[in-house]
Amino acid sequence: MKVIMIPRSNQYIVKLADLLRKDSVKVKQFKSFHYSAPSNFIKTFFYRLVGYKIIHIHWVYVFPFSFIMKSYIKFAKRLGYKIIWTVHNVHPHEHTDKEKDKTIWFGKNVDYFFIHYESNVSKLEKYTGSAISKKKITVINHPSYEEIYPNKISKVEARIILGIPQSKKVVLCFGQIRKYKGVDLFQQGMELLDNDYHGLIVGEIKDRDLFEAIDISSAAMDNLMIVPRRVTEDEVQIYLNACDVVVMPYEDVATSGVALLAYAFSRPILSTKVGCMSEILEEGKTGLFIDDWSGIGVKTAILKIFKKDYEKMGDDAYEYSKKFTWDELREKTIEGYREVLK
C-alpha cells in the first residue's frame, strides 16, 4: 500500500506516518502547496507511475488558493488517485466566504473521510450541504498526546522556571491567540480574580489586533503572564506542569488537541460546551463546562473548579485519554485505505 500524505510538518502527521511505515505502508510526505505547488504536481505524477494510489490530506489550508486546490484534485483524480481527508476542522476558523467555498468544494470532491468524533459527521454534512455516505467515513477519536511531548519535570520545578509562587492557583490558556479560542475572555476572567490566582496565556499570535487589545487590557494586571510565541516541544511540559487547570473558552471547536494535551499531563479542563467537547469532557470527572461565554463565565468556572478535587479530576482525565491510542488510529487508517481502494 502506497500513500502520499499532505502536509508533513505536524506532530500528529509525523507520528501517524511513522506508525504506518512500521506496518509496511509506504508513505511519501509532501509540503503544503504554498511554496511547493509545481513540484507537488510533478511528484504526484511520478509517484502514480510507481504504484501510489492514495492522497491523504489533513487540512484544506495546505492549498493557498481555490484554483490550485481544484486543479490539483482534478489532476490527481484523472491519474487514478483516491483522495482522503482527515477532518481535523470541519470549517476554517476564520469564516471568510472564500475559505468557506473552498472547504465546501473540497468536502464534496474527496472520496473518503476520517472524522474525529461523531458530532462532526452531521456538522460536516450541514456545512457542505450534502449527505456524506456512512460507507465513506471512519470515525475515530483523536489519540492521546502522551507519546508526543516529554514530561520530565514536576510542578515545583516548572513554577520555579517561570517564577510563579508555589501557593498560586494557576490556570493556563494554551494555543494560538485567535478570537474563536476566547483568549480575550480568559484575560477578562483573570482580571476579575484576585492575586491568589495566576493566569498564563501561551501561544503563537495569529490575530495581531486581538493580541494588542489583550496586551493593553492586561498591562496593569499582576496575575497574568503572556508568552506570545509558539513554544518548543520541550517547553510544552513547563507550562502544562506549572498549571493546575487548562481553560478553553472556545466559541467553536471540531477537534481539540489542547484538551488531549491537558489530559496527557493529568490536568482537568474548563471548556465551553461546543463542538466535540461534549464527547471529550466528562462533567465533574475530567473537568467542568463554562456555562456563559464571557469573562464572568470564565471567572465563575475557575472559582468553581478550585472548590472541587481538581487534582483527582486531572488523574481521571489522564486515565480517560489512555482509551484513545495511536495503535487504534493506525489500524483504522489502514482499514480506511483498504476500503477506499475497493
Task: Show me where the domains of the chain are located.
Answer: 2-142+325-341, 155-321
The CATH superfamily holding the domain 155-321 is: Glycogen Phosphorylase B; (3.40.50.2000)
Tens-place pLDDT, residues 72-112: 999 999 999 999 999 998 877 766 677 888 989 999 999 99
CB 30 within 8 A of CB 36: yes
Q: What are phi and psi of 256, to 5 degrees?
A: -115, 100
In this structure, of 44-48, 229-233, 322-326, the range with the lowest mean pLDDT score is: 322-326
Q: According to the model, what pLDDT value does residue 95 have?
A: 61
Give CA–CA dist 340/342, Å, rounded: 5
Q: Do 2-142+325-341 and 155-321 have matching folds?
A: yes
Give CA–CA dist 202/232, Å, rounded: 11
Q: According to the model, what pLDDT value does residue 191 have?
A: 97
Closest CA to 243 of 287, 186, 200, 207: 200
Give residue 11's pLDDT band: very low, low, confident or very high (50, 70, 90).
confident
CB 184 within 8 A of CB 211: no
Cis peptide before 38 (omega within 30 of 0): no
Query: How confident is the prediction for the chain on average, in pLDDT?
Result: 93
H or E stretch covering 288: strand 287-290
CATH of the structural domain 2-142+325-341, one choice from 3.40.50.300, 3.90.79.10, 3.20.80.10, 3.40.50.2000: 3.40.50.2000
Q: What percent of the chain lies above the pLDDT cut of 90?
A: 79
Q: What are residue 177's DSSP bridge partners?
A: 205
Q: What percent of the chain lies above the pLDDT cut of 70?
A: 99
Tens-place pLDDT, residues 141-167: 889 888 788 999 999 999 999 999 999
Q: According to the model, what pLDDT value does residue 145 have?
A: 85
Give CA–CA dist 56/271, Å, rounded: 31
Q: What are phi and psi of 92, to 5 degrees?
A: -65, 145
On the question of pLDDT at 252 being above 90, the answer is no
Specify whether the backbone of 333 is left (phi greater than 0), alpha (psi in -120 to 50) or beta: alpha
Find the angle CA(278)-CA(283)-CA(284) to the nearest 5 degrees.
165
Write the CA distances from 23 to 13, 114, 142, 147, 181, integer angstroms. Answer: 15, 19, 20, 18, 37
Residues 6+ apart with CB under 8 A from 196: 168, 169
